[in-house]
Amino acid sequence: MKPLTTEQIRAVIAKGKFRDNLFKAIGVFCLAFALLVIVALIADMLLKGAERFTLDFFLNFASRRATQAGILSAWVGSLLVMLVTALAAVPLGVAAGLYLEEYAKRNWITNIIEINVTNLAAVPSIVYGLLALGIFVYMFGFGQSILSAGLTLALLILPIIIVATREAIRAIPAMIREGSMAVGATRWQTCHYHIIPYAMPGILTGVIIGLARAIGETAPIITIGALTFIAFLPPVPFSEIDGGGSAGLFDWVMSPFTVMPIQIFNWTSRPDPAFEVNAAAAGFVLMVMVLSMNAVAIYLRYKMRKNIKW
């Protein structure tokens, strides 16, 4: 092979640099495009929904007249469902993560559980809806209630919380456990006084990300048969109810309900453009809820990475 002349070598280098820069430009363009989509999404909802951002919108029930319709039953429903979800998923997820990291022996039971957690994360959310329809709604007889929805979403976000808990626990060095056990603590005492508190920020991050995912989930809740038009709130504990007597402490969990995403779906699928405005406004409220939860989680993780040095 003939050696290249200086000019030829320069040409090769220039070509390489040009390709590098071209790719860099494509990369920046793709990234900018993805970011632009979020900005467009938020701006569109904010501008289109702007006229609905009044107190009435948050305090009114759904209505046939677009301008009088509000999201009261939807946001109350979302909060109550999230309450049930958090109460079920957080203890279960943390306990499962703790077991897998601190207690589990390397045997086939542990293997099955681990493979399961990984695979459950890939199951489409609507399949959880079908599970809940068969088990919670009909077999357990919970009906189309806040309880069914909360438990469904709890199962859905369980893998997220388990994985976050395990990662947080794994980051704690072995010397912490050894130190605790050296002064006579049992395994549970070690977990209770050391492992869980130190893993808390990581667990919290996982819990927030999980709940942010759950609050935006629509498909499984539609599948269990949540109603799209609800013009009442679940009974407040100990309040008077219409038929006489007073509501029990937990009556609200069995109440029919609607949630934010279902309200948006309902308004989006109506042909009347007046409801598009409502959908935009409610969508913006939901986005603010979800994005602020995620932002808190990302901030927590960032803080954590900076502060903890073992």
Partner 1 sequence: MSANNASDLPGVSDRLAYNAMRNWKERLIETVLLAAAAISVLTTLGIVYVLVSESFHFFQNVSIIDFLTDTQWTPLFDDAHFGIMVLISGTLVSSGVALLLAIPMGTIIAIYLSEFANPKVREVAKPILELLGGIPTIVFGYFALLVVTPILQFFLPSLPGFSLLSAGLVMGIMIVPYIASLSEDAMRAVPMSMREGAFAMGSTKLYTAVHVVVPAAISGLAASYILGISRAVGETMILAVAAGMQPNLTWNPMEPAATITSYIVQVALGDLPHGSIGYQTIFAAGLTLLLITLVFNILGQWLRAKYREAY
* Of residues 261-300, those binding partner 1 (CB under 8 A): 261, 264-265, 268-269, 276, 279-280, 283, 286-287, 290-291, 294-295, 298
Positions 171 through 190 that interact with partner 1 (CB under 8 A):
186-188
Q: Which two tokens stand for residue 221?
A: 């809740």
215-234 footprint of partner 1 as x/- string (CB under 8 A):
xxxxx--xxxx--x------
The residue to which tokens 């990369």 are assigned: 27
Q: How many residues does the chain have?
A: 310
Q: Residues 212, 153: contact at Cβ < 8 Å?
A: no
Q: Which is nearer to partner 1, 155 or 172 (CB)?
A: 155
- What DSSP state is assigned to residue 246? B
Positions 56 through 95 that interact with partner 1 (CB under 8 A):
91-93, 95
Distance (Å, rounded) from C-alpha 125 to C-alpha 148?
15
DSSP states along 266-296: HHHT-S-THHHHHHHHHHHHHHHHHHHHHHH
Q: Which is nearer to partner 1, 166 or 252 (CB)?
A: 166
Q: Which residues contact 163 (CB under 8 A, 6 or more apart)?
A: 97, 117, 121, 206
Distance (Å, rounded) from C-alpha 17 to C-alpha 10?
10
Widest CA span in the chain: 101
Q: Which is nearer to partner 1, 113 or 247 (CB)?
A: 113
Positions 133 through 152 that interact with partner 1 (CB under 8 A):
133-135, 138
Q: Which stretch binds partner 1 (CB under 8 A): 32-40, 54-62, 69-77, 197-205?
A: 32-40
Positions 94 through 123 that interact with partner 1 (CB under 8 A):
95-96, 98-100, 103-104, 112-113, 116-117, 119-120, 122-123
Candidates 60, 61, 83, 125; binder of partner 1 (CB under 8 A) is: 125
According to the binding rule CB under 8 A, does residue 130 interact with partner 1? yes
Q: Which is nearer to partner 1, 120 or 233 (CB)?
A: 120
Distance (Å, rounded) from C-alpha 230 to C-alpha 228?
6
What are the CA-CA distances from residue 124 to residues 98, 156, 209 (Å)? 26, 9, 18
Q: Residues 224, 148: contact at Cβ < 8 Å?
A: yes
According to the binding rule CB under 8 A, does residue 23 interact with partner 1? yes
Candidates 8, 10, 24, 250; binder of partner 1 (CB under 8 A) is: 24
Q: Which is nearer to partner 1, 126 or 176 (CB)?
A: 126
Q: Which is nearer to partner 1, 124 or 179 (CB)?
A: 124
